[in-house]
Structure formats: structure tokens, C-alpha cells
Amino acid sequence: MIEMKHIAKTFDGKAVLRDFSLTVAEGVTCLMAPSGRGKTTLLRILLGLETPDAGEIIGKPERVAVLFQEDRLMETLTVGLNLRLALGRAYDPEKAEQCLAALGLPGSLRLTVSTLSGGMKRRVALARALLYPAPLLVLDEPFQGLDEDTRRLAIQAVKQSARGRAALVVTHDLEDVALLGGRLVNLQEG
């Protein structure tokens, strides 16, 4: 279980987060956040990429599997190499193929990322996070740019991957929350 307690962050005199607390337990926790409510800052603090002005994080694991709002893939490399690069020794081509197939991308390991569509890239980035062996999974708008069918496949894959570990999923869509199940936290409410 990861606890973020009384987190505050100010940028240029503007308070982005004020006394925000959040607990991420095993299973899926959905974070609903309208734009400009400090969602990105909160995730960056959780990931250790930003230091909070106040507050603390308890129980944050060393390894975190993350899907950023941007895909952050190496465009000139193949899908397989992108996965291998992030997963290191944990990379298993068979598991990778299974995960990609579950996301509607069978046989795509040898494809170069630059040749993929936006939705396909999103799913590759999602597969990278899902395959990464870490006790905490942080997914920032994982289903953006996906059509209805692939979105449902992706939701199933996330649900499956969240078994036995904590997953924090940021989304704008209540239907995603309903399909994912789990707990809902609204950032607006603090």
C-alpha cells in the first residue's frame, strides 16, 4: 500500500496541490481529474520526478511501472526492442507477444514504432508498463486515442495486470472507471 500524505506543491506562487492525500492499495484505484487540477504534478511527485513542498509518501516501492501521458517510445526502434530496452532481463518475447495480442496487436514485435498509428503506439507503451515487473503500476490516461474495441481490450489487460499489485489509473471517463472497477478518487475533492 502506498500513501501520499498532505502533499502540497506550488509553481511560481500558484498552488497546484494543496494538502492532498491519497492511498493506493492493491487492485485498481482510478483518479478522476479535470485538466489543470494538478494531476500531472501529483503523478510526477509519486514517481519521484518532482519534489513536494510539503507532505510525504509512505511505502513507495523502488520500481514503478509507468505509462506517461505521452507514449515515450523510441520511434526508430522496433516494438520488441522498445520493450526489451525497458524490461531488461525481465523481457520474454513470448510474454510480450501474448500481452501485445491481448491488446489487439498480435505479431507486432518486429514492427518499427514510427510505422504504427497513434492508437497502436499507445498500446505498445501500455504493454511496456503492464509487462514491467513492479509492485506499483501508474497509468496516465492509458486509453486515450483508442477506439471502442481496443479500449475494451486495454481495460481487460489493465484489470488482469493489476491483480496482485497496486495500480493507479488516471482517466477522464466514468465509463472507464466502471469497467475497471476498483476505487474512485476525485482530485477536485482533494
Partner 1 sequence: MKNKAFTKENLWRVAAVLFWLLVWQAAAALLRQPLLLSSPLRVLQRLFALLGQSATYRALGYSLSRIALGFLTGFALGALLAVLAARWRPVEYLIRPLMLTVKSVPVASFIILALVFLTSRKLNSFISFLMVLPIVYGNLLEGLKSKSLQLDEMARMYRVPRLRRLVYIELPQLKPYLLSAVSLALGMSWKSGIAAEVIGIPMGSVGERLYQAKVYLDTSELYAWTLAILLISMLFEKGLVALLKGAYARLERL
Q: Footprint of partner 1 on this chain (CB under 8 A)?
A: 47, 49, 63-64, 66, 68, 70, 72, 74, 76-78, 81, 85-88, 112, 128, 132
Q: For residues 147, 144, 174 and 20, what is the CA-based torsion angle, rounded to 10 degrees?
A: 170
Nearer to partner 1, 15 or 85 (CB): 85
Q: Which is nearer to partner 1, 32 or 46 (CB)?
A: 46
In the complex, the smallest distance separating the C-beta of residue 15 from partner 1, rounded to whole angstroms, is: 24
SS (H, E, C) 16-72: EEEEEEEEECEEEEEEECCCCCCHHHHHHHHHCCCCCCEEEEECCCCCEEEECCCCC
Nearer Cβ to partner 1 (54/85): 85
Q: Residue holding cell 488482469?
A: 160
Residue with Cβ nearer partner 1 (8 or 77): 77
| Min separation Cβ 152 and partner 1, Å | 27
DSSP code of 13? T
100 neighbors 123 (Cβ within 8 angstroms): yes
DSSP state of 101: H
Closest CA to 141 of 16, 35, 5, 7: 35
Minimum distance, C-beta of residue 132 to partner 1, in the bound complex (Å) = 7
Closest approach of partner 1 to the CB of residue 108, in Å:
16
Whole-number minimum distance, CB 157 to partner 1, in Å? 19
Closer residue to partner 1, CB minimum distance, 50 or 173: 50
